[in-house]
Every structure is written in C-alpha cells, then in structure tokens.
Structure 1
C-alpha cells in the first residue's frame, strides 16, 4: 500500500522554509557572519573586563577612603592619649629639683658635716610625698645608698638600699635628669622614676628621686577604644591594654640585652619574651615618614581580625613609644561590598546595552526573515497546489485499497469457515469405515429380528414378537444417535457461544470413535461427569476440537504396547476468573522439543503424505482462542502427550463472546 501523504505538523516550519539562518545560507557561513560573531565575542569580552574593572576600581577607591578615615581617627586618638600620658607623668617633673632647696637634705649629704637629724629629712620627704600623691620620694648619696625616704617609717622602707645600679641614679649623678621605668626591688611595684642631681656648689653630692605610679595610665586605656601598648627605650612593653602583652620585647631579645636587664634589674626577675608582630612593627617604624603599617594574617590573634592598622607615637621626654592597633576588617568588608555593587551596576549597564543591541539585531533579523518568508510563501503555495493534487490521487488509491482489503478479509473469513468445514468432512471421511461398521451390525440384527418376528407372529407367539420389536427399537435408537452425532458434527453453522457441558461434548465426540477404539484395543478412561464442568463456547466447534485431539491421540498410540486414552476435567481460578480445563492424555511416544516448537504451525504434520494437511491443531487453537481460551500441549509424567483445553466458565453478568 502506498504511504499516505500527511499535512505538516503545526509546530514544524512549512516545507521549503529554512528553520535557521544557517539553513538559509545553505549551512555555509559567510565572511560577514564570521566577522559578526568575532565582533560579538570581542564585545562580550570587553564587557566582562569592564565589569571586573569597575568592581576592582570601586573596591580600591572605597578601601583607600575607608583606610584614610580610620588612620585619621586613630591619629587623633593617638595624639590625645600621648598628650594625656605626658601630662600625667611630667606634672611632677620639677619636684626632684626642689628637694635640694631643703638645707637639711644638703647637710645630710655633705661630707664631714656635723650631726644632722635624719628624722627631719624623712619627715620632710613624707609630707612632700603625701602632698604630691606619688609612690615614694627618697634621697640617694653619691655612693648609691638611700639615706632618707618618705617610707622610712614603713616596713618596706628604702632607707639603706643600694641603688647604684639604677640607670636614673647614674644619669642624675652625671648631672642630668634621669628618667626611667623600673619595677621596685622592694615593693615589686612598677613605676616611673624621675631623678635630679643634688649639688653643693658645683659638686653633685647626691640624687633626689620621685617614683610616680602608672595606675592612672592603666585606667586611661578606655579613651583609646582600641588595643594599645607603650614600649620603653629598651622596646619592652611596660604598659598595655592587653595584660598578656606586658613585658614582651618588640624585637629579638639578644643575650646582651638580657644580661643588661639582669644587671640593672629594671624588670626584676622577669625575662622579656619576643612580641608576635615584632618584625612588622620594626619595619614600619624604620620606614621613612611612615606613621602606620597595615598588618595582615591575624598577627595579633583572632580577636583583632585579619587586617590591623598599627600606628606609633613617640613620647620623647620619656623615650617611650606608644603603639595603637585598629581593626580594619569592617572597612575591608565595606570596600568589598562597594566593589561588588559597582560590578553589579556595571553589569546592569552592560546588560542594558546588550539588550538594546539584541533588540536592534532582532528587528533586523525580523525584516530579513519577513522578506525571505514572503519568497518562501510564494514557493510554498505552488508546492501546496501540486501536492494537493497528488494527495487527492493518493487518497483515491487508498480508498480503493481499503475496499480491497475489506473484501479480502471477508474472503479470508469465508475461506477459513470452508477450511474448518473441510477439516470436519475429512474427519468424517476418515471415520466412515468405522461408522459404516457401527451401522451395518444393527441393520443386520434388525433384518434378522424382523424375519424372526414374522415367523413368530404366524405362530401367534406374541411375547417373542414383542421382545424382538423392543430389540429392533433399541438398535434403531442406537443408529439414530450415531447418525445424529455425525450430522451435528458435519453441519455448517455460524458460531453461537453458549453454556456447554464438557462431558456431553466429550460423549458426542467419542461416539464417532468407538469402533476404532475397540478395533485398536485402546483402553478408554472417561472421567468427565455431566454437569460438573460448564464452559462458555460453541458446542459444535468444541466437539470438532475434541474429535481432532482424540484422533491425534489414537494415531500417536498406534503400534504402542500400552494404549490408554484418558479424558478428564478440572476447575481452576485464574486472576479472579473461574476457568475449566479438559485434558486429553495418551500413552504415545510424547512430544520431542523440536516437535513441541512446531506443533501448532500451519501445514506442519507428522502423518504420512496424503493423510493430513497439518491444519488440525492450528485451526483447533484458533477456535479455542476465539472463545477467550487456550490450547496447550505438554508431556505428562506417566508418558505420552497431554493436550489441555482451557475455557472460561460463564457467569450471569458476562456478555456472550463472539467467535470469528
């Protein structure tokens, strides 16, 4: 049959219209297309570079601005705190110089002087210390021994101590003002020491010292608001907002320094350890004009963040250095946010530009596509006209072919019915000899009994005549039953499915084979009981299938020493539907695998040439399947073959089945 012509799918483009621009150009790219694509790639690359550049520029500008603001604020706090430190410590700067104005102090230090009251000097120093609010005020002679002190009457008195090793004593003894941080040997209390020489004329005869408490400085860290520390002229941290930083050295604690610390006992028994960020702080301080450095990588611990701005302020009079540390992670995050927003803004502008460019390109493409579509539409109309004519011719051929196929199917059904009838008549022909024998014997007996009856009637022996007539009637009924079964089997009638008793169908089929069963000395075992198994089928066609199976079974047992034909039924339930089975067993040679695979193939037979067409089993299975059943062949355990007919059992709600 010729293939039908179908109209194009609505989703597909009409025939003759290219589905893409590449197809319009014949799948070939021109130099213009190549240059256009290269331009688009270049524009996309430049847009990406612009977006990244805007993001980086926004980040760097914001970072510089934020860092400058942080540095400015920190510088302001640093200056204020440095002024506060100098004010606290230098307010008593001139006090030691006034102690030599007391004549008792000079007299106490003057050599070869007369007896002087030490108590008067101690009392003077005590009153002075109380007035100033310092930790201690004391006087040292030129040999470095404390001769008078404000705490002379207290348990931890300095009187009698040898302080010749103290740097401030050495500086004051040389005529200079001594300034030093140290931890007291007796009190173990840190303090800031101011020392002035005491002169007798031009000669330095002693040193006046005042010790100032550093507690007010420790309480002033809050005004900075950030971590900070103060390092002395030895780069040792003597004051810090972080207690764990105290007495660490900014730099490498070499052996000479450690020995010097032990000799001068500035830090008593403490041995300064290296500060964690020493190297970066020293590099920042040594850099020319640098007042701050950015430390990265959490140099001062996780508490201060990953980036810290370190700034220093010199305290020249004390020869100290004040360091403050400001966390700038927040500024970095703000700069990063601004950079991301700048990149997003640039991306938005780039996307807007690309959208406009894309819109213009789409408009150009639409105009070009409209022109090409008009051309294609003209070509399509001509093609549609041609193909419509061809489609009409094809449809006409299809109608003729459909009519021919319907007629062929009707012819096939008629041929199948004729083939079924021919098979039935062939079976009748094969059984004609046995049926003739079955009818001939009763006819001979009837003839004999009729003759005898005439003779007995002449003798008035009515009882014998009545007995002979009864025998004649029974023999006539027997012949009528055989003829009726043969007529029912051989008649040609349309299939009408109905409730059929399998036992009755088996009985009608066996009537046709009784003469052959007796002649072949076959043992018949019929376990089918009437009313036990009801099936939904056409009785006449079911009898035809049973006749075919019994005939095949008798043929299979020919020449076998044991010949037993057994028929029995079985009720089963399959997928919630009641079904009945009829099994036909024989004691033949059984089914080989090769024979089993081809058993139901049309025109396959194991009988000699001229004794069968090989259509019996194929037709039988088609008949059973037309009633929604099945016909199977297997070998059973007792030897021989078993053919099983399985049919549905009729229920009241079932609709009668229609066989082909």
Structure 2
C-alpha cells in the first residue's frame, strides 16, 4: 500500500513539473509571437499611412495647379485690369463648377475681397502672411476653419503685364469633399495640424479633437499603456466607443504642414499570439496525454487480474436486475394496452348506446299512446344498433390484435349520408347550421361500411363538441373526386386544435377528462382505421375552427 502511495506521489510531482515547463514555454512563445506580430502590423500601418498621405497631397496638388491656371487666365487678368468684375465673377463660377472647388476668391493686395464665386461674406479676410506669399510670386498655403468647414487655401498673384500684381486668386478646397473620395480603411487615420488639432481623418467622429493641452477643445482620448520590447502600446477610445489597445505610426507631411497618425488595433496580433500559444499547450497536452495513456495501460495490466472477478460478479448481478425490470416493463405494457382497448370500447359504444336509449324512450311513448307500429319500428332500430355494437366490438378487437378486417366496395357518398342521418337530431339540438355537398355520381372505395361510417360519425361528434361554446356554429361537409382519390372535407367553426401534431395520438383530447366523450381515443382509432383502408386522415387549423380531411383511393372501374 505504501509503495502504491509513493508511486502516485511521484506521478503527481512529474505532472506538476511538466505543467510548469509547458506553461513557461507557452508564455515565451506567446511573447515572441506577439512582438513579431506588432512589428509586422506597424510596418503595414506605415505603408497605409504613406499611401493616405500621398493621396491627400496629390489631391491638393491638383488644386495647386488649378490655382496657377486661374491666376494666368486671360479673362481674369483683363477683368482686373479693366475692373470688369462681373465678367471675372462669371469666370470664377465656371472654374468652381468645372473643377469642384469649395470657393474661389479674388482679393485686392490689401486683402479686400473684390468678388467671389460663392458670394463670400464681406467679413472674410485673408491673412497678410498668406497674401504676402502670393504677392511675392509664390504659392500661398494655409489651413482654416470657416463656419465649421475645414478649408485648405491656396493663393497666387494675378500679374498685369507680367510684372505688377493687381490681385490675388484664393482657391479654397473643402477637406470633407476630398475625404469623401478616400477608400474605406480598417484603421483610423488622422492628420494633425501644427496646433495638434485633428484637421483631417477617415473617421468623422475624430475630427477637431485636440491632442494638445487646449482646455477649450475636446481632447483626443489617447493614453500610454504598456511597452513590449521597445514598442509603446496605447489605450485609445474614440467618442462613444470602447477602449482599444493600439500602436501608432506617425509621418510628417511637409507639403501640407500636417502630421499623419495611424492607429492600429492590437487585438488581431494578440489573438494570433494566443492561438499559437494554445497550439503549443495543445501539443504538449497531447504528448502528456499519450504518456498518461501509456502509463495507465501499464498500470491497468497490473490491476486487471485483481478486479476482473469483482467485475464479473457485478455484471451478473446487474444482468439479473435488468431481467427483472424487463419483466415488469412487459407487464406494464400489457396493462397499458388493456387500458387503451377499454377506453376505445367505451368511446365507440357511446353513440350506439345513446341511440338505443333514444329509441327506447320513443318506443315507450308510442306504446303509451297505443301506437304499436312506430313502437315496433323503434324496436327494429334498437336491434340494428345492437348489431352495430357487435360489429364495433369486432372491429375494435381486430384493431387491437392488428387483424385485417374484411373490406368491400362501398359508396362513400352513402356512408356520409347515413352518418348525417344518424347525427341529424344531435345537429339540430346543438343549433348547428349544416352545409353538405355530396356528388351526384357514386364514388366507390374499398373499405368497411360500419367502420368508415363510425369514423365520419366520430368526426361529426367532435365538431359538435368543439362548437358547443361558439357563437357561430357552422358545420360543412364536402365530398369530391380528386384524380384517383375521393376526398371528404369536414370543417367547423369551433375552438380549433391546440396541438395539431398530437391530435391522432392515443388519449389526446381537448375535452374534460372523465367525460363520457373525453377519453381521447376516437381520433387515434379513426386514424388507424383509415390507414388500414389505404387512405389518410389529416387535420389542420383554419382562421376559425378546424378542418379534417379523409382521402381514400377510388376503386378502379367502379365509377365508369
């Protein structure tokens, strides 16, 4: 026993040492993978940032060229020289419509706007430094916010006789219009101006945020997090968003005096590192499992002989218990079958017994009045019902024993008419409006007269019970020929079926349990009877009430 305990203790120590070594290996692998993925991610981000910077610079450079074209346009030069400002304004409007500028101004050397393509406000004045660059025959460049619009301004002097500057063309470009042409990028890219204001971005919710110290401007939510071997990680939270761990890459764009920054989400590198470390752990676990299985097999062979006799005894005892349980189950099945058969007999005999009672009471009244003829007729009807009960009992016995009861060619329409005749008093007493459509030609099917009539009677009785509490009581029966089948449709305006899928199961009922017609066997028996005739009995709910449908094959050659 002590040797077994020492063996188990050595195994536990070996497992712990192996687990510590595997965990350390997985951690080192995770850190190396994460660092390499961050380096690759930053390299990709620098490429995307360089592409975005070049794209913005090319967009603005195209407007630089347009500024030179407008400043050297003969219409503009002549209009200024001759002070025909209306013609110049028309030319500027044409340039704006053609090239998509936000606004084009022509100002005097002192900054006063002479005319504009978009009727600029008279309060708008351009800075002296901006105009001075154009007056010194350079291309002026400036960034501005006008009425909440982010603007890039380009200026060029208009020379008369190629020597004397008489005005300055100022071309204003909307950054929003330029950003609209950018392709969708997965990472936020922001261009900050010299005051550290987010002047341009592919994310509108990051615009005009400040990463400087200006307390009057909403701050750019970016804080330092941890470092990974010299790579700084940041906590970045966009407006109305969640915190993200990112790394960033920056690039200064000298032509635009902007600093581009791209923010790269580290969740994918972390997921890659985590996945690879999990693969390392899984591989180590597989190796450990193989070793454990080998060890368990070795130990199993040692203890196999010790426990084999005990296992055989337990198996024999369990087998004996299972045999007893199986015998009890067989007895319970017999009792359940007997209960189902009794319930079926009670249900199927209910209607003939009710008819016998009705005929007996009528016969007594006829005898009391001395009318022996009608009384004898009622006695004959009672005899018919007794014979009918005998046939029903025979059918139920055949149903319970799965016997094949004899069938014959019968007229389906006559069966329906007979069932309606037997139910006519019940229909009238229930206040139900009957709508029956039977075909003039005979529809012969292969079935049992009494059994098929009993199915139709059962459906009619169920329909009357379903409409007992309905305000509208309509019962519709329609028999028709559909190809090589006869179809009987019976619909009511009752409460419908709660569970259509279970309606043909034994003991399913929507009536009160214990009632004379509430045993739940009628539809189960009807379904089995129709199936033995080679047909189908189906049910579905309507907008109001339910519909049952009997489909039986027509006997070939009987309807010619």
Q: Normalising to structure 2: TM-score of the pair?
A: 0.45
